[in-house]
Structure 1
Amino acid sequence: MAEFQSESTSSLDPILDLLLSVGYADARKTDISASKRLSGGLAWCVAAVNSDGPRFDEVPDDETLTQQEEIEIGKQGIEESLRSMGCPHSLEDYQIETLDCNAIFPVVQWLVNRIRLSLSDDENQQELNVMNQLKLLRERIDKEGASIAVQKLISLMESLKHLERQESEFQPNCNVTRLELQAEVIELEGRIASGCDRKSLSHSLNQSFIEPLEKLNSAKRELAARYRAIVAVKRQLDDVPSQSELIQYERRFSELYVHIQEKLRQTRKCYGTYNALLEIKELMLKETSLLNSISSQFQDAITSTAGRMKLIDSMEGIVKSSQQVIVISPPLQL
């Protein structure tokens, strides 16, 4: 008996390895009987195949398998479920109970291949969806002209960084010039203290102040020009609309388009009503003129037989022409 159990366990290992490879965690639990592990693994594989291609990270283990799926498989039976799925290998319930590995192994292998095929198809479909989304995103960027705006924004940012770098390089030069001027002031103070010639000292002071003052004014003008350039670049950066503003503009244009279409429809309806009323007016004027003509001729025509016959013929002609107009003319729509 021990030899039979050992042989059954060794024959069952490839089947449990297949179940474990697709995510059935109870395949290696020793506290569960081999029959229960095998039936649970078959039920789990049937539920996984019927879930339209589960992913490895989404395949439920024996604890997360829903009770509804377990009850449904329990009602139909593993044998009936495999038959309805079109399994090419037959499997009876007693073969599961008796651990007939020769009959169970091809069934498990077929179920595992179905699961792996579903996983492969699902991964290919996800890759195709990602490629389609990237294509739609590129088309939307090209359609909205966002790439041009981004390139312009990048160019402005580079210009701003270049100006800031020049400003940072200009600051040390100003500090060096300030130190030179302070040294000259100290030298002049020393000369004044030593009692040198006042006239030559005054001339020297004037010469010493004129050149640094010109440099200082020139530096101030250059600094002001650079500052104006930086402000202009910042203003251009502020003028570039953000993504949320572009989305808002698109929404407003869509609302304006719908409003224009509604106004156009109302305008066409008004034109149609006007044309219909104009035709009615012309017909009423013709009818009024016809009635006036009949009224003016009636008294003269009624006094004689020939006049009456002529009036009857005239009325019949008017009726025929009116009927022809009614048949030819389309119905008026108000």
Structure 2
Amino acid sequence: MPNEKSKSLIPPSAIVEVDIREDEEQAVKFNEIVDLLVAAGYFRARIKGISNFDKVIGGMTWCIESCNFDVDVDLLFHENLTIGQKISLTEKIVAMLPKMNCPHRIEPHQIQGLDCIHIFPVIQWLVKRSMETRKDNASFVRAFALSQFDKLYSSKNNEHSMKDEQMKNIEANIQSVKQSYGPKRKFKRAGEAPKDEIARVKSTLLEYGILPIGNIVSSVSDSGENENVNIQDTTEINNELIKDQGQVVHLDEERLSASAVGNIVGLQAQEIVQVSELYASLSVDSSNSTNESRILSALEKQQSTLQKRINKLKMEHDTLTEQYNNQIEKMKKTNEKKQIIEDEFLRMKEMETPENKGMLAKLEELLAVHSGLKNQEHKFREQCKIDLVNLQNLVENIETCDPQEKENQIAEYDSLKESINKTRLLLAKKNRAIASLTRKLDDVPGRSELTQYQRRFMELYNQVSAKHKETKQYYTLYNTLDDTKLYLSKELSLLNSIQENYNEAMASASGKEQFLKQFEAIIAGIKRNKDMVETRCAEEKDKRFKLNKQLVTLVEQQRKYVAAVRQLTIECRKNEALLAQLRAT
């Protein structure tokens, strides 16, 4: 046949038989691959409308992308790829597996031919690596969510420890404030100290820059030593003390220390009124003395300043009180929300079981992602506000510019727009040319595509040849059986005629002689047919011998051809290596 002759002329090296074992073992391995991908989370593997190749290659691409491995390879996968895209994708995957330290090796044609026995260990390793990567990411996200939760909320267990830490911080701040704002001595006594205890105390306070008015009296009266001393007597003592130490203690008329202001603010309103009346009476009585008038005028200035200070401090006190109340309300609401959240958290902990533990972990991951998205949204809103302000300022600057500048800007804008349009047209023209060249390049098949086409044609040729051989065997069997049937029918008819004529022929001697002559003629015809068949058989044997001899000759030529092709391939590789060295130099 012509097909057999053409097949015999093709060398064995050009006939590539892809190892596709369409048996039960392949089907079992494919089902295990699908089950493994579905268990790992690639649920598209169980969709019946997707082809087997898309399921396997899609699962491998998904596993590689979920491993977070930094490789400069574009693993773009979508369903119903062309042959060139499938070949390119499988070659990229095969080249990427050694970079990921995969212990299993696989060839692109094994993936394209769905050799599930060799694909299964690779899928198994990729799924294991993907699960480990996802577990590490889940632990990191969980730790991040817990840290964010601890920053915003606190549980009852660490509430006491936080209070202790806050108390320690407050005590440390108080100590630092005391050290920074402690009492400092400003003046020094020149003469002897007064004998009176109250005068001695007040003179000591004056040395530290504090003007005592009424506090010492109240403290002394509390101690029970001088119960008959009143505010008026205390004021007179202060005046005498200032007169006695006028040359030693330098009192600033225009400035009052912070401690004196604090003492005066602590006075009661009634005492302030009494002191003001006392100062007014003293100012009338002591008009003859210059020192007394100077002191009274200073005290009046201090009184007015202190009154203003008191009013201001009262307003600040009211404001701070209102803020404090608001903060207390906010704190109560926050504590209520905190208690609700803690109750919900405890209830969620009670609801946690081994069955829904994975679901709860997934919810925690989603909450962490939600908080991250909220932060991103907040940052995005802030950036949008900043951009809006910048654009508004830019619009204001544009509106406030001169008309001549606007015209220049409009003309410049038109020229730039025209140049951009020209550039776009040139770019579109270049893109069309590039697209046309790309289509032409795509129309020309590459070496890998040609190899794939050759493999597919060889597979198709093998199938057609096997079918043709099977059909030819059926025809030969049919012809043989038909000839056998013909001979058997002739033999049966001959035996029937002999049986029918035997009795008549044996009845007479002439009939018997005629019957024997006919029988001899039949035997001679059978011998002639036998000789013809034997002659034909001998011719067929000679023809088979010649064909076998021709086959041996062609096999020897094929062997020489294969050796020559192998040697040519080695020489071509050497040539390419030498050309690469020449280009490098």
Q: Which has the higher helix share?
A: 1
Greater relative contact order (Cα < 8 A, sep 6+): 2
CA radius of gyration, larger in = 2
TM-score interval, smaller chain: 0.3 to 0.5
Task: Give the TM-score normalised by structure 2.
Answer: 0.21
